[in-house]
Structure formats: C-alpha cells, structure tokens
C-alpha cells in the first residue's frame, strides 16, 4: 500500500485525485491551506475529510512545520497546491510566484529532507503559449504573442508570414515552452524545479500538463476558475454565458475524473522510472472543441444561449489543443469521458459554493 500525500487535496482536482487514490487502495494524507479566496468553511472541510478516514493537515506548503507533519512517512507526493487561472491583473503576480514557485521549492526541499523520491506535479497546457500551427503550405511555425491592436480590430487568429491565418493542430510534449502570462511562467518554473530536484536527488518526477479541466465540484463565480465554471455559474444565475472573441477558440476539454486517472497512472509509474528522471505528459481528451461549442453544450437546447461578445483577455491564447499520445503509449492512460456526456452531466452538476 502506497502512502500518498496530496497537496491541495481539498481543491477541485485534488479532491478527485484523493477519491481515486483511496479507491485504488492507497493510504492518503492531504495538506491544504484552505485559502479564503478558494474555500469556505475550513472547519467543515477538515471534519469531512477526517470522517472519511483521510488524515488532514491544515497548513500552507510554505510553512515548514505543516509541511514536515504532512511529509512524515510518505512514499510519493502528488503536488496539486497552486494558485490557478489567468488572474485579475498584474497585481496577482507576487501571489502566483510565491504560491506556485516558492511553494514548490519548499515541497521539493522537504521531500529531500525526508528522502521521498517520487513526485507527480500538476502542470498546465499554458506552458506552451499558443499551440501548434502550420502555414497554409504546411510549414510548422510558432506565432508570437497576439497584438492588442489586432485584437481590438477583431482579428483573433494568428497570421503567418504569408499574411494568411495559420492553421492550428495538436501540440505534443516535444514543443518548446512559450509561456504568455504570469500563471504560465509559474507553471514552467514548477516543471524546471521538479526537473532540477530529480537530477540533484535521484528522484523520479512526472509533470502532468492539464488541458481544460471541467466537472462536478468546480469553484463557482471566481475570476480564477476555468471558463467552464464561469459559463456554468452564469447559467445557474439564469444568465446567458458570455463568450469572448468570436467563440472559435480551440481547446481540449478533459473531465476531472479522467485527470484523476492520469494522476493514478503517474503515481504508479514513478515506482518504476529510472532515478533522475523527469517526464512531462499532456493530459487531454484528444478531441478538439471550440469555446463556443462548449458554452452551447452546457446551456443545452433549452437554456439561455451563449452571447458572443468580441471581448478578449490579453494574456489568453487563441488555440491550444493536446496530443495525448505520449501518456497513452507510455502509461496506458486515455480519457474515458466523452465531451457530450461530460458536458450534459456538468450542466446540472453541483459546483463548489462561491466564496464571498
């Protein structure tokens, strides 16, 4: 039986990982700070975990006392604790860097002190920036960041050197990292820290680059939540989802239960990896849908239909969709929840209560 620590284990994705790990027979401990901007009723969350037989350490990964209490006796760490989302504005930058990068450094240093050599860390599709593109003639190209003047003019698609829109495709793990916002920068740094840790200590680390995760228990009405949660929250208020740009942004939507399965496969895989190994995997459904299609699927035929606004967020990218062939070939993981069923269930699934 593996003794597993899930940092951020009270969160949306962390909770799904905890459920899956316990179903797989692991002994699970949770370390979570229960941030006020994410969670309500901290005492109730701790009690609910303890009633299920889950050991809960209430504390921040940057707090050495709490971290060491959480790490004692652990075989493998699944590090999910992070500040997520694009953020409100650049004033969020210090919190992102401290929570994500300093937090990860503290976890890795603690693992080194306790001789824990197996790590699974949550990364994100945002490390790629814009996704994979070719020109109209089939030449691969990575476009620069989109310009504010083009976005103001409603020109959302990256343009190639021939003056024509580039053609998007699936991106794989061999692509160069190209973060376009503060959150993305911190996820790249987390990967680099994990890679450095594996080389310095002989550890074995897997980074999972989540694509657009959705499912029951997403946080409601927060600017740090994913777009699926924002649309679902609007519908719960009886409002039409507001779709930015022209709604044709391509994404890969993957159900949270599938993400938990990818973590389960990775936890098992770390036992057999060679020492000093760092390996990154995309975690996506492998099926492309647009933001507009997702909004319409959640609304359904009888709900308020999405409104395309033409607005944009400067740090957003136009298209990024995953090839998950590597994780399928090496770890045997494939997504199992198809888009139509997942979105149909998500349309009425409970969300995590909004934080006031």
Q: Which residues are catalytic?
A: 183
- Under DSSP, is residue 337 helix (H, G, I), strand (E, B) or coil? coil
For residue 155, the tally of other CB atoms under 10 A from its CB is 13
- CA distance linking residue 347 with residue 231, whole number of Å: 9
Burial profile 55-72: b = 16 or more Cβ within 10 angstroms, e = fewer: ebbbbbbbbeebbeebbe
DSSP code of residue 351? P
Burial profile 181-203: b = 16 or more Cβ within 10 angstroms, e = fewer: bbbbbbbbbbbebbbebbeebeb
Asked whether the beta carbons of 313 and 245 are under 8 A apart, the reply is no
Distance of alpha carbon 31 from the chain centroid: 18
Question: DSSP secondary structure string, 248-306?
Answer: --EE-EEEHHHHHHHHHHHHHHTTTSPTTEEEEEEE--S--EEHHHHHHHHHTTTSPPP
The pair phi, psi for residue 159, each rounded to 5°, is -105, 135
- CA distance linking residue 14 with residue 263, whole number of Å: 10
Picking from 181, 190, 226, the residue whose alpha carbon sits closest to that of residue 208 is 190
- CA distance linking residue 251 with residue 313, whole number of Å: 16
């Amino acid at each position: 039986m593996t003794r597993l620590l899930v940092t951020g284990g009270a969160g949306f994705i962390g909770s799904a990982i905890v459920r899956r790990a316990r179903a797989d027979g692991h002994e699970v401990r949770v370390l979570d700070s229960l941030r006020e901007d994410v969670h309500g009723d901290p005492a109730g969350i701790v009690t609910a975990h303890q009633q299920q037989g889950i050991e809960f350490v209430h504390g921040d990964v940057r707090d050495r006392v709490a971290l060491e209490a959480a790490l004692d006796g652990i075989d493998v760490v699944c590090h999910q604790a992070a500040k997520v989302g694009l953020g409100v504005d650049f004033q969020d930058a210090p919190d992102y860097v401290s929570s994500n990068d300093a937090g990860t450094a503290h976890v890795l240093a603690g693992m080194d002190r306790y001789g824990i050599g197996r790590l699974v860390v949550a990364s994100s599709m945002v490390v790629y920036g814009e996704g994979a593109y070719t020109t109209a003639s089939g030449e691969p190209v990575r476009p620069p960041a989109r310009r504010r003047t083009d976005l103001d003019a409603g020109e959302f698609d990256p343009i190639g050197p021939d003056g024509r829109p580039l053609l998007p495709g699936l991106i794989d793990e061999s692509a160069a990292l190209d973060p376009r916002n503060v959150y993305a920068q911190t996820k790249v740094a987390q990967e680099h820290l994990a890679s450095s840790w594996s080389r310095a200590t002989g550890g074995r680390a897997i980074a999972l680059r989540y694509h657009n995760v959705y499912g029951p228990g997403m946080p409601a009405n927060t600017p740090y939540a994913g777009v699926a949660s924002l649309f679902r929250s609007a519908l719960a208020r009886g409002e039409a989802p507001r779709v930015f740009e022209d709604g044709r942004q391509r994404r890969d939507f993957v159900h949270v239960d599938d993400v938990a399965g990818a973590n389960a496969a990775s936890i098992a895989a770390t036992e057999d990896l060679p020492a000093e190994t760092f390996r990154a995997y995309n975690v996506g459904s492998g099926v492309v849908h647009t933001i507009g299609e997702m909004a319409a699927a959640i609304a359904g035929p009888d709900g308020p239909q999405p409104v395309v606004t033409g607005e944009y967020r400067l740090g957003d990218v136009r298209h990024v969709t995953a090839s998950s062939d590597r994780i399928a070939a090496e770890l045997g993981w494939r997504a199992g929840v198809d888009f139509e069923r997942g979105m149909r269930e998500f349309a009425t699934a409970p969300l995590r209560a909004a934080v006031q």
